[in-house]
Amino acid sequence: MPVPARPGTRPTPDTDALVRARELRVGYDLPVCAPVDLTVHAGEVLAVIGANGTGKSTLLRTVVGQLEPLGGRLELLGAPPDERSAQVRSTVAQDLGDDAFFPALTVREHLLLTCYGHGVPAPGEVVEELVEEFGLVSRADALPSALSSGQRRRLLLAAALARPRSLLVLDEPEQRLDAGMRNHLTERLVEEREAGGAVLLATHDPAVVAGAATAVLLIGEDQVQPLDPAAGAAAIDAL
């Protein structure tokens, strides 16, 4: 049976793949990596690793429907990805590193807007918990322009985690975080999978891979190779 969900996480039957790709080709005009096969189920954390420029971010943006596949087959929640669909918007939470903030809204107001937009119960309590969790208490009433780069990344992560979700998609979430917050990120990803959620992330951090991933996909221009987490962490060190 699925693991009971923590608040914000929607369990999915473990027989259903949230993401399934076969011979998937991603890129803009030309493929940026070899064809990709992957599957992500509830309770799994799939870490995508590879050198810079090998298509990790492009793969994630294709999975969530921001980019069209160049070929192959891709299903998100059992259908071709469409980021505008109600099912995707209510089930998939993401932080792809885009600092797309409303310039006139404070940290707290950004998180409240996310909660209200997704029907989160007790939004005020959820926001205060996230503000504290991500070390933003002293900046809760600050505008995005007044935040440091690391604080903006923490706000992006908090906003993603404020949403109800079955699938969490993160693009190098460790970037711009200090060591303590990176450790917390790893713990959060473990909590996510243990609550029955699924995570698809691109990362360069071997500690995140070793500590949270259940599977690893090493992507490159010439081949895509599945690895176990220990081998994946070692591969990052060798890139």
Q: Which pLDDT value is given to residue 83?
A: 86
Residue 52 has which token pair?
Answer: 């810079």
**131, 137 contact by CB (below 8 A):** yes
Does the structure show a pLDDT above 70 at 117? yes
Does residue 54 fall inside a structural domain?
A: yes
Q: Which pLDDT value is given to residue 1?
A: 27
Domains contained in the chain, number: 1
Does residue 107 fall inside a structural domain?
A: no
198 bridge partner residues: 167
Q: Which pLDDT value is given to residue 16?
A: 81
Over residues 201-224, the pLDDT tens digits come to: 999 999 999 999 999 999 999 999
Does the structure show a pLDDT above 60 at 11? no
Q: Which pLDDT value is given to residue 8?
A: 61
Does residue 154 fall inside a structural domain?
A: no
Does the structure show a pLDDT above 50 at 108? yes
Output the domain CATH number for residue 227. Answer: 3.40.50.300
Does residue 3 fall inside a structural domain?
A: no
Q: Give the Cα separation of 32 and 25 in Å (integer).
A: 8
Mean pLDDT in residue range 182-187: 98
Does residue 224 fall inside a structural domain?
A: yes
Following DSSP, what letter does each residue of 20-75 receive, concatenated?
EEEEEE-BSSSBSSS-EEEEEETT-EEEEE-STTSSHHHHHHHHTTSS--SEEEEE
Q: Which pLDDT value is given to residue 5?
A: 38
Does residue 12 fall inside a structural domain?
A: no
Mean pLDDT in residue range 13-33: 89
Mean pLDDT in residue range 39-67: 97
Residue 209: give the domain boundaries. 17-100+165-237
Q: What average pLDDT is seen over the chain?
A: 94
